[in-house]
A and B are shown apart, each in its own frame.
Chain A
């Protein structure tokens, strides 16, 4: 019997990190985002900027879905004319980082504790106000999430994350097949 490709609900969604090299042209981001939206794929984070080659941009997309969805996303992305290469880094030895800025309540009595946490996580206090600290932290997703949860009790006023970026370990680049 021919194997049916997608069995909805039978596979648990996994988080995948997909790196896309694209032509640096207006509208490319809209195409990629449109593709995800139109097919109902959920994007957890999206980071994009130009690369060492100024005519080429790199997008790092973190999305959740099962193997079938991932396979289809990758192939559909590959069909877009402005996409140079699509690589799924999920199962490869990957270096991933994210940057977060966290504005946390820093009452005088708590400042010491917070500063200790900042040191332990090798973060940086980049702004001090009368009642708040703004902290910059970089790391992989577990580190950022851990730091955030340790700061929660003090009261996080505002937080922004860049979304994950990633490179594969070693000499290999995304541009190579």
Chain B
């Protein structure tokens, strides 16, 4: 357990008291019980799942084993997203269970989502008995085959004695190097077989050695480039958060006075209320961050991957810049750009090596230029409106009422971009959003997972009406376990982002984006036993947010009826450059 990375937010408390029946090392027990024991040994305290035929041995152990809390979900996709949200908020490895066949296939989206955003999690799926494998048995699915491209690694356990080692290896693979999801598929006869259980304390995988020495030969050149740069920018991605490098990022910015922009995944790695923060960059990033990148002569990439939502047209982006790329994954170096300086390694350790070599810099005219852009091109929305609620206003009020201290999860769409723009994150692991895969429906279950993991912060999900419909069934476990998530639905009665693109690029041909037939979300929330609130006037926005913040024993759904014609700006259309950025200045 020596290498378990701990987030600075260590407030996870298990749901309810449970007794742990200790087991002696070497006692003969079932594969299923060995599974639970090793999961606990690896630090797992809560599992999100849904039982089924082949998982009966495992769930029987859960019934009296104690020590592992189980949250029964409405849909296995919810379980996967909950494990994901738990991981993002705590820095630990979230765990989900699913049965074979449709249960397992239901978590594929969740695994793909975690893979794209490099989130550590372990999914344990039941499988048909080994003698039935490949014979189209009831609820059989080749889940290891199906998830080959969407997991960092997966295992099909064919020897019960291998269960503890496989679980230990799964956790190790999930949380080391570039993190990712790992699936362990356990046939039901293997779960029933008797083995001698020994907890696993040492994991050695010959073919996987993530702690290999970093390649930072050119670190002196990096320091020199930083010293010489006239208009540098620090570009921070999710890797800085995975690595726990936020203090090093802050120190680098403080020492050099270099402005800092973060990606969607990097939000929270640098306090967005700080002077030097440029907010988010890219397609819906702030105008000033995109201008800074347009004019920069040195881009310091810390744990980001030059995603296309950030770069737009690759050979028109940051066209005056040299690049320093700091990333733990050697495959990212040279995937999009060939960096001038390549520093392969864990961001935290690379920055710790770099910081002493970096000379202090004062604020320069570059800082003044960036500040002028911030003044002239702020994020804004019309105010002084009595009748129309602007979605940006809701997020803004949410930020103010929580002082930037909440954990904010989102679905995917316009609401996600507004949340990213207007909720200024101050702490790492407080923005939980599906970046790479862009999974609608991620918001509510991820918020639930985050709330299970972190209990001392308010927990808000900024969601869209379309996204919320996809996974609203997860209100059921939230109510059952008294999980106080609060959902702010920015309800515009349509699939907003699609409508925006159709309006802007498809001649306003609004094909299949109308959500007028949505359920009444207040009644839906109440049907589940949650609190349902509706806001139809701007003057009620803050009052209702505060009201929701005071509810601590059940989920709250707030249906904000927002302006349905609002476009999310600024916008750099896909594949274009900052010169084509569409931005509105305040009226």
A contacts, CB < 8 Å to B: 1-5, 22-23, 26-27, 30-31, 34-35, 38, 68, 71-72, 75-76, 78-84
Contact = CB atoms under 8 A, between A and B. Distances in A.
B47 interface: no
Nearest to B316: A1
Interface in B164-213: 173, 178, 205-208
Nearest to B323: A2
Contacts of B322: 2
B334 A30 contact: no
Interface string B311-338: 0001101111111000001110011111
Contact of B205 (A30, A35, A71, A81): A81
A31 B148 contact: yes
A4 B314 CA distance: 7
Contact of B144 (A27, A68, A75, A83): A27
B462 to A, nearest CB: 33
A83 B337 contact: no
Contacts of B334: 5, 68, 71
B299 A2 contact: yes
Ranked nearest first, the 5 interchain pairs of A and B with the lowest CB-CB distance are A75-B331, A2-B337, A81-B153, A3-B338, A84-B207
A36 to B, nearest CB: 12
B321 A27 contact: no
A95 B215 CA distance: 31
A76 B148 CA distance: 14
19 contacts: A1-B318, A2-B319, A2-B321, A2-B322, A2-B323, A2-B338, A3-B338, A4-B314, A4-B336, A27-B156, A34-B148, A34-B149, A68-B334, A78-B331, A81-B173, A81-B205, A81-B207, A82-B207, A84-B206
By CB atoms of chain B within 10 A, which of A75, A81, A84 has the most? A81
A71 B342 CA distance: 15
B145 interface: yes
Contacts of B178: 79
B152 interface: yes
Interface string B332-374: 0011111110000000000000000000000000000000000
Given A30-B145, A84-B206, 8 more contacts: A2-B299, A2-B337, A23-B207, A76-B331, A79-B329, A81-B152, A81-B205, A84-B207
Contacts of B331: 72, 75-76, 78-79
A38 B207 contact: no
B320 A1 contact: yes
A83 B339 contact: no
B207 A1 contact: no
Nearest to B169: A81
By CB atoms of chain A within 10 A, which of B205, B314, B334 has the most? B334
Given A78-B331, A81-B173, A30 B148 contact: yes
B337 A4 contact: yes
A129 B337 CA distance: 60
A19 B216 CA distance: 27
A30 B206 CA distance: 20
A30 B142 CA distance: 13
Interface string B356-396: 00000000000000000000000000000000000000000
A34 B148 CA distance: 8
B205 to A, nearest CB: 7
Given A2-B321, A4-B314, A81 B208 contact: yes
Nearest to B151: A81
Nearest to A68: B334
Nearest to B145: A30
Contacts of B323: 2
Nearest to A81: B153
A4 B315 contact: yes
B485 to A, nearest CB: 35
B321 A1 contact: yes
A85 to B, nearest CB: 8
A81 B206 CA distance: 9
Contacts of A2: 299, 317-319, 321-323, 337-340
Contacts of B319: 1-2
Contacts of B148: 27, 30-31, 34
Nearest to A38: B149
A34 B144 CA distance: 13
A72 B335 contact: yes
A39 B323 CA distance: 26
A2 B317 CA distance: 8
Contacts of B320: 1
By CB atoms of chain A within 10 A, which of B156, B173, B337 has the most? B337
A14 to B, nearest CB: 18
B337 A5 contact: yes
Interface in B103-153: 144-145, 148-149, 152-153
A170 B207 CA distance: 25
A67 B28 CA distance: 54
A132 B65 CA distance: 71
Contacts of B314: 4
B330 A78 contact: yes
Nearest to B153: A81
A1 B322 CA distance: 6
Contacts of A35: 149
By CB atoms of chain A within 10 A, which of B206, B207, B318 has the most? B207
A78 B333 CA distance: 14
By CB atoms of chain B within 10 A, which of A1, A38, A76, A82 has the most? A1
A38 to B, nearest CB: 6
B145 to A, nearest CB: 7
By CB atoms of chain A within 10 A, which of B148, B152, B205, B299 has the most? B148
Nearest to A1: B319
By CB atoms of chain B within 10 A, which of A2, A5, A30, A38 has the most? A2
A5 B335 contact: yes
A107 B156 CA distance: 54
A154 to B, nearest CB: 44
Contacts of A5: 334-338
Contacts of A4: 314-315, 336-338
Contacts of A84: 206-207
A5 B208 CA distance: 27
Nearest to B321: A2
A82 B149 CA distance: 14
A27 B149 CA distance: 12
A118 B334 CA distance: 49
A135 B467 CA distance: 64
Contacts of B173: 81
Interface string B488-528: 00000000000000000000000000000000000000000
Contacts of B340: 2
B341 to A, nearest CB: 11
A23 B155 CA distance: 13
Nearest to B144: A27
A75 B330 contact: yes
Contacts of B330: 75, 78
